[in-house]
C-alpha cells in the first residue's frame, strides 16, 4: 500500500492477498504472512458497527494500515472521524454499544479481532500498551505510582509486589523521572502533568509490549512538555524497538514523529502515505485541506484557511465518498461510487485522484 505508483496488475495482487489474510485471520491463532517482515501490526478492512442496529451507520469502515517495528504510524483526522474508535477496537475497549463487525488486526501473527474477550485482556498490557490523553485522569488517584506501573507485571507475569516494584523503579528511570526510588511511593496528584504522562508511558510499557497505542498523548500538555514526551517516545522506539500507533489531530506532531500516516475522515481512510509524501504531495483533497488549515505564521494579519462545513454525524453518512459534500472537486461520480470498497487497495480513496483527473496539492 506504500507503492502509490503500482499499476492495476499489482493492485489485483494486493487484493488477493488481503482476502487471503482475512480468511486466514478468521481463526484466532492464525498467522497471516505480513507484507513486510518488520511489520508489527497489520490492520485490514477493520469495520466497527453499532450493536444490534438494523441500519448500520458504519462508524469505522474498512480501515487498513500497518505499523512497523520501531516505527510510528499516525491516525489523523478531525474529532469524530473514528480514529480513537479504531485504536480502541484493537484493545477491545470499545463502548458497550459498539462492536467490531469485520476485518483483521494481526499483531505479530495473532489476529486481535479474533480473540475472545479473555484472550484480549491477556494481550492488553502484555502485547499492546496504551497511553491516553489526560495523564491526570488516566492515573488512579488512590494508587501509588509504583503500584500502577507494576500492575501489568503482577497481572501478566505474576510477579510479586516487591519484584514488580524493582522493575517499576527501573522503568521510572527509563522514562526519565529523577529520584525514582522516592517517586515510587508518590501519588499521581503529587506529580506534574509531564511527569504523570511519563508514568503513564512507564505503566504502558512495563511488560515490554511490541506495540504502544498512544491516543493523543500530548494534547493536554504544554508545548515544551509535548516535545519532551515525543522525545521520550522516540527514544523508546529506537532503544526498545517499540512500535507506536499515534492517534492525533496535530499535524505538527505527525510531521515530527511519524513515518507513516493514515488520514481518516468520517469513519473511513481518506489516504495512506509516508509522512514525507503526505506533506509533499497529498493525494486526497481532504489531506490538502487539512494541511492548508495549519497556520504557518508566514504572513502576519492574513486570514487562517479553514475547511467549510463539518464532518457528517455517524448514522447520516452519505452514500459514496463521505467527503464529497465538502470537496471542491466532487462530481456526480463521487457520490455514486462506493469508494471505500472499490478503492480498497489504493493509497487514496479519492476517485478523481485515482483516475488522474486532479492533483489535490494545487488546492492547498
Positions that interact with another protein (CB under 8 A): 91, 93, 118, 121-126, 128-130, 132-134, 137-143, 151-152, 155-156, 187, 189, 200, 203-204, 206
Query: Which residue lies nearer to another protein by CB, 124 or 352?
Result: 124
Task: Provide the residue count of the chain.
Answer: 364
Which residues lie below 8 Å from residue 304, measured CB to CB, with a gap of 6+?
293, 295
Query: Which residue lies nearer to another protein by CB, 138 or 348?
Result: 138
> At its nearest, how many Å lie between another protein and the CB of residue 92?
9
Give the residue ranges of DSSP H helices in 258-349.
275-280, 285-292, 332-336, 339-342
Query: Which residue lies nearer to another protein by CB, 118 or 303?
Result: 118
Query: Which residue lies nearer to another protein by CB, 204 or 247?
Result: 204
Grid cell digits, residue 283: 493525494
> At its nearest, how many Å lie between another protein and the CB of residue 217?
12
What is the DSSP pairing of strand 260-265 with strand 128-131?
A: unpaired
> At its nearest, how many Å lie between another protein and the CB of residue 325?
33
| Cα–Cα separations (whole angstroms), residue 85 to 187, 218, 268, 313 | 30, 18, 11, 14
Query: Which residue lies nearer to another protein by CB, 189 or 355?
Result: 189
> Chain centroid to CA 150: how far?
25
> At its nearest, how many Å lie between another protein and the CB of residue 83?
16
Beta bridge partners of 42: 66, 106
> At its nearest, how many Å lie between another protein and the CB of residue 194?
17
Return the sign of the alpha-carbon dihedral for residues 98, 100, 105, 107: positive
Amino acid at each position: 500500500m506504500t507503492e502509490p505508483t503500482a499499476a492495476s496488475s499489482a493492485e489485483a495482487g494486493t487484493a488477493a492477498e488481503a482476502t487471503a489474510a482475512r480468511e486466514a485471520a478468521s481463526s484466532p491463532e492464525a498467522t497471516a504472512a505480513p507484507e513486510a517482515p518488520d511489520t508489527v501490526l497489520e490492520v485490514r478492512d477493520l469495520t466497527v458497527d453499532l450493536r444490534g442496529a438494523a441500519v448500520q451507520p458504519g462508524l469505522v469502515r474498512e480501515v487498513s494500515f500497518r505499523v512497523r517495528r520501531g516505527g510510528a504510524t499516525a491516525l489523523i483526522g478531525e474529532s469524530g472521524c473514528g480514529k480513537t474508535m479504531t485504536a480502541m477496537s484493537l484493545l477491545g475497549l470499545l463502548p458497550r454499544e459498539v462492536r467490531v463487525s469485520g476485518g483483521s488486526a494481526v499483531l505479530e501473527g495473532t489476529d486481535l479481532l479474533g480473540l475472545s474477550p479473555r484472550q484480549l485482556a491477556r494481550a492488553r498490557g502484555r502485547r499492546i500498551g496504551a497511553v491516553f490523553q489526560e495523564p491526570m485522569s488516566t492515573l488512579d488517584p488512590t494508587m501509588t505510582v509504583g503500584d500502577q506501573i507494576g500492575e501489568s507485571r503482577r497481572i501478566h507475569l505474576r510477579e510479586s509486589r516487591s519484584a514488580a516494584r524493582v522493575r517499576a523503579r527501573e522503568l521510572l528511570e527509563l522514562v526519565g523521572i529523577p529520584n525514582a526510588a522516592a517517586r515510587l511511593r508518590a501519588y499521581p496528584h503529587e506529580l506534574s502533568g509531564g511527569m504523570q504522562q511519563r508514568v503513564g508511558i512507564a505503566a504502558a510499557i512495563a511488560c515490554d509490549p511490541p506495540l504502544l497505542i498512544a491516543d493523543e498523548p500530548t494534547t493536554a500538555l504544554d508545548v515544551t512538555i509535548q516535545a519532551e514526551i515525543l522525545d521520550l517516545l522516540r527514544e523508546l522506539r529506537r532503544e526498545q524497538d517499540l512500535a507506536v500507533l499515534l492517534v492525533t489531530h496535530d499535524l505538527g506532531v505527525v510531521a515530527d514523529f511519524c513515518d507513516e500516516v493514515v488520514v481518516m475522515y468520517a469513519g473511513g481512510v481518506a489516504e495512506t502515505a509516508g509522512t514525507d509524501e503526505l506533506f509533499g504531495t497529498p493525494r486526497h483533497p481532504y489531506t490538502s485541506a487539512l494541511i492548508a488549515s495549519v497556520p504557518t505564521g508566514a504572513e502576519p494579519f492574513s486570514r487562517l484557511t479553514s475547511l467549510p462545513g463539518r464532518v457528517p454525524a455517524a448514522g447520516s453518512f452519505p452514500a459514496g465518498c463521505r467527503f464529497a459534500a465538502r470537496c471542491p472537486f466532487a462530481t456526480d461520480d463521487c457520490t455514486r461510487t462506493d469508494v471505500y470498497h472499490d478503492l480498497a487497495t489504493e493509497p487514496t480513496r479519492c476517485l478523481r485522484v485515482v483516475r488522474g483527473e486532479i492533483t489535490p496539492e494545487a488546492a492547498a
